[in-house]
Structure 1
Amino acid sequence: MAPRANWKGFLRLSLVTCPVALYPATSESEKISFNQLNRQTGHRIKYIKVDQDTGDEVPNEDIVKGYEVEKGQFIEVTKEELEELALESTRTIEIDEFVDKADIDPRYLIRPYYLRPDGKVGHDAFAVIRETIREMNEVAIGRVVLTNRKHIIALEPMDKGLVGTLLRYPYEVRSEQEYFDEIEDVKVKKDMLDLAKHIVNQKAGNFDPRKFEDHYEGALVELINQKRAGKMIRPKERPKGENVVDLMQALRQSVGREGSTETANAPKKSAKKPRKAASGQKEMLMPIAGKKQAKEAGTKKQPAKSQRRSA
């Protein structure tokens, strides 16, 4: 079942309108997350909202938004006032123009959403808008209001639906000049460039996100399982960066290493099955081998006055 829609409203191209729903296309819920604990008791930390001056706890219904105009002076803005600002467009994604996808600077991309018809009506109008964008081979640019703010959204067809990517406004993107101005103008020699291009050709492939594994997430799972088993955790030696003295020699060695790696890996493709990429936190945190022994080990290691385990 699809997750709950973040937004529901209408998609409009001139006079063609259809009801749509907007869903998040990505999720962080499968990543391992930690709670903050009191080291002395092992209890979770709870955050409360307090008045900065009195120290008294403030209930949610008494908390309002305020903009600081001067030090210690605020202008209060209510939820109703914020909603009133964009009242007309809060429920409509209006397509303003069509642009070439290559014209969209990647720095302006924020996050993707899935867009589909909402309910049983409007599928015909949705299909007309979707196929028009597909036939034009361009990206539709519109506006949408989420969490009381108006965003730019870029719409592209995907299968039977649309993918809408929120875009940043120009004032949100920093200029590259303040970071790049001090980079020296270096003339790269042709033989160095040829060697570097050869390395690139040896690494050429097709982008497939399924072959990439989150090694840090895997290491977290291993660490948690080791601590569950009561094993001693020993710090590993940190990798040290190498100082490249002879750039040309480093390039030649890189070419040789990539070539030998490619040759060595070729006949062993079917010999060792690659590790399956982790699909989620619940699946990754599997019971430790020897469930009964692990449970006994955990009980043995558990202190009498705390439920936490430490290495």
Structure 2
Amino acid sequence: MAPRANWKGFLRLSLVTCPIALFPATSESEKISFNQINRKTGHRIRYLKVDADTGEEVSSDDIIKGYKVDTDSYLEVSKDELDNIALESTRTIEIDEFVPRSEIDDLYLVRPYYIVPDGKVGHDAYAVIRETIRSLDKVALARVVLTNREHVIALEARDKGLMGMLLRYPYEVRDPAEYFDDIQDVKITKDMLDLAKHIVEQKSGHFEPEKFEDHYEAALTELLNAKQKGMPVKAAKKQAPSNVVDLMDALKKSIAGGTRTPARAAPKPSKAAKKAPIKKRKAG
């Protein structure tokens, strides 16, 4: 089944407009997930919305939004008030400018989306916008409203389509000086740097994401398969990291150990293991 679009609207470059749809470019739904269950009954846990002071359950009709101004005071904000300030760009991604991709700090990157034509019309206009972006070797900065908030999105050509990357606002990016200022200035000798570079050369390769192994996911799969079959669960062997006493000695030992045969990668999770291993027991 094809995924559902997160957003549908229009992409506009000056007077050129076409209908489009946004789809998440990544997904975590394939990962193993767990439900919370009642140990005594085997039933799933359901969370209730309760008043923090009285402990009584509150119906959805009686729940409104509030902005905390101090310990016990909130500014109530109604749905109508929020609708009154809704942005006009709710259904249009308006391209504002073009900038070099290299100028966008990775700290500002949030989430990628695939942007495709919506329906049979508008493919010509879509292609014009896509090829314009591609020919400039830049990304297009635009605005899009998702979940009632306006976001900046960077558009770039990707294969036959467009990829949009949501960007953070400056106030969402923390100042690195708050974290890095206390790091000590240490003088590294040339011999140490040469040894470290040699280790890097031993481990150098190319970016091949298909070689990535999610070892925890594989361990979860093995655990669930064993439990389904009623087999004992083996505890994973964990090796505690050793304290570095002599940095130069550690670098030399790293080089000596760099030629060893790498450990066998953990097996990839099987499709069968993705099925929920826990079945609800009937209330009796």
Deviation at 1:155, TM superposition (A): 0.7
Name which of structure 1's ranges 127-136 and 189-198 shifts more when overlaid on structure 2.
189-198
- Answer yes or no: is 1:257 the counterpart of 2:257: yes
User: What corresponds to 2:58 in structure 1?
Assistant: 58
In structure 1, what residue type is equivalent to 2:138?
Answer: E
The 8 Å contact of residues 225 and 285 in structure 1, kept in 2 or not, is answered as no
Query: Do the aligned residues in 1 keep the contact of 2:10 with 2:91 (CA within 8 Å)?
Result: yes
Deviation at 1:19, TM superposition (A): 1.0
Task: Please say if 1:67 is aligned against 2:67.
Answer: yes
* TM-score normalised over the length of structure 2: 0.90
- Structure 1 residues 275, 247: CA separation in 2 closer, same or farther (over 3 Å shift)? closer
Deviations 1:14-42 (A, max 9, x none): 12111111111111111111111122222
Cα deviation per residue 1:142-190 (whole Å; 9 max; x = unaligned)?
A: 1110000011111111111111111111111111111111111111111
- Measured in 1, the distance between the counterparts of 2:220 and 2:9 equals 41
Shift, 1:260, TM fit = 4.2
Displacement after TM superposition at 1:58 (Å) = 2.3
* Structure 2 counterpart of 1:203: 203
| Kept after mapping to 2: 8 A contact 1:212/1:277 | no
Partner of 2:87: 87
Give the paired residue count.
281
1:284 alignment counterpart: 273
CA contact (8 A) 2:218 2:268 kept: no
Gaps of at least 5 residues in structure 2 are none
| Cα deviation, residue 257, structure 1 | 1.7
Alignment of 1:238-249 (within 5 A): 238-249=238-249
Report percent identity of matched pairs: 63
Any residues of structure 2 matched to 1:174-189 within 5 Å, and which?
A: 174-189=174-189
The answer for the alignment partner of 2:224 in structure 1 is 224
Query: Hey, what's the Cα distance between the residues in 2 that align with 1:83 and 1:249?
Result: 65
Structure 1 unmatched runs, 5+: 266-271, 289-305
Q: Supply the RMSD in Å over aligned alpha carbons.
A: 2.6
- CA distance 1:121–1:80, shift in 2 (3 Å): farther
TM-score by length of 1: 0.83
| Cα distance change, pair 70–287 in 1 and its aligned pair in 2 (3 A) | closer
Q: Which residue of 1 aligns with 2:140?
A: 140
